[in-house]
Structure 1
Amino acid sequence: MKKLLLIICLIVTSAISANAQFHIELGINGNSPQGDFRDTYDLGIGSYVEPKYAISENLDLGLLIGRNVFGGVDDDIKAASSLNILPTGTYRFSTNNVTPYVGAGLGLYFFDFGSVLGEESTSTEFGFAPRAGVYIGRLNLGVAYNVVKDLNFLQYNLGIRILSRD
């Protein structure tokens, strides 16, 4: 399913990449588990791709596809990973070179918990991710809070827009 989703995204990207209203953001992130999730898992890293379509000068709709890995807090707990697929909305407060933004995503998180005391498990959860940050040219510096049942995590993003309208 992951490969099929990637192929669909690539086809859509190539079909409309010539359109000035379309752009893609690629990025990396650091993750900090919160609440009960922090009791079992430690800091994590990840990456994401987010194709976006500008429906106005200040408003973009997109599809965020992200992959995150979290380390276990001790040797008995192996790393956990998540695949996030979230339709998103982003509002930029201006069209200047440096502009703050707010946004949110709403969608599915597919978790794989590796091995916790010898038992492996997976979980699919519905989640919400409010976010805010600043665009500096094509660079994105942002933060998102992923609210996913009892698997919440704070995410620090560093991204770059390619195939950009700017």
Structure 2
Amino acid sequence: MAMQDTCAELLLDNQLCFALYSTSLLMTKVYKPLLQELGLTYPQYLAMMVLWQGDGITVGEISARLLTDPGSLTPLLKRLEAEGLLKRIRSSADERVVELFLTDKGRALREQARAIPTCIVEASQQSIEQLAALKDELVALRNSLQQAV
């Protein structure tokens, strides 16, 4: 089927959104075998990174940090609890609030995960400086988009 009218602004390869989407898909594929060794999915890994940074946070706080809805995070956190990586405890001050605490197993998993960032840098074939600059640009873009919604 021949293309009748070339509309450059609608070409897939000209779209920033597609470049971000396809890169995200490939990044997740690179992470997958590394995370399988830890028994984690990519979303679980993100949640664990937040917990490794600050144990004892609430579901609302981890949800805000991951830019996700608390309701969609709850099943993921229940799976991590079933795996023995964290404990979910209702706050004594407000029973509507659920606090998250790493178990010894959850803390130990952090040591196993330490090599993952190096593997990702190697797979990217970019320098640390290039990746840091790209991350800064993406964070700035994310912040702008967040203000637009």
TM range (shorter): under 0.3
Indicate the structure with greater strand content. Answer: 1
Q: Greater CA radius of gyration, 1 or 2? A: 2
In terms of fraction of residues, the more helix-rich structure is 2
Higher RCO (C-alpha 8 Å, min separation 6): 1
- TM-score, normalised to structure 1's length? 0.24
